[in-house]
Amino acid sequence: MLMIMIAIAVAGTLGSLTDWLFMGLLFHGAYNRHPEIWRPGIRDGADRGAIIWSSVLGYAITAAVVALCAIARVRGVTGGLEVGVLVWIAGPAVVLILNGMFIKLDPKITLAHGLGYGARILMAGLAAGLAFSLKA
């Protein structure tokens, strides 16, 4: 159980850094292409609540991927990455592509978020695969 908690903590923390890299730093200028779509507090950088909640939910995503790996009886890195890819395709990838089709977003934002969530989820699968292989 300790290895599972460590996997969630490490992958969740690294996932937060990927959020910063892909969703905050990469293509940062693209966020202002359509400023009217952002809530005023977010657009102005005054509201940190959404950032805090996105970090908390990021750990929830990580824990869910690790739990799914446990349910799928993953026993190695390859299995963890396979689960991660399937989770990414089934969830964030589809939602982001559909949102990009219907919401006025710069395509670079869709790309950055897709890469960010993909990296986060793959790291969770990798961490789970490592934790379960060491546990076995």
pLDDT tens series, the chain, 136 aa: 899 999 999 999 999 888 788 777 777 778 778 777 777 777 666 777 888 888 899 999 999 999 999 999 999 999 999 999 999 999 999 999 999 999 988 898 899 889 999 999 999 999 999 999 987 6
Quote the pLDDT of residue 34.
79
The DSSP result for 12-80, as a single string, is: HHHHHHHIIIIIIITTGGGGGSSGGGS-HHHHTT---HHHHHHHHHHHHHHHHHHHHHHHTT--SHHHH
CA–CA separation, 136 vs 133, rounded Å? Answer: 5
Encode pLDDT of 39-60 as tens digits. Answer: 777 766 677 788 888 889 999 9
Domain ranges of the chain: 2-135
Overall pTM > 0.85: yes
Residue 45 has a pLDDT of: 67
Q: What is the mean pLDDT of the chain?
A: 89
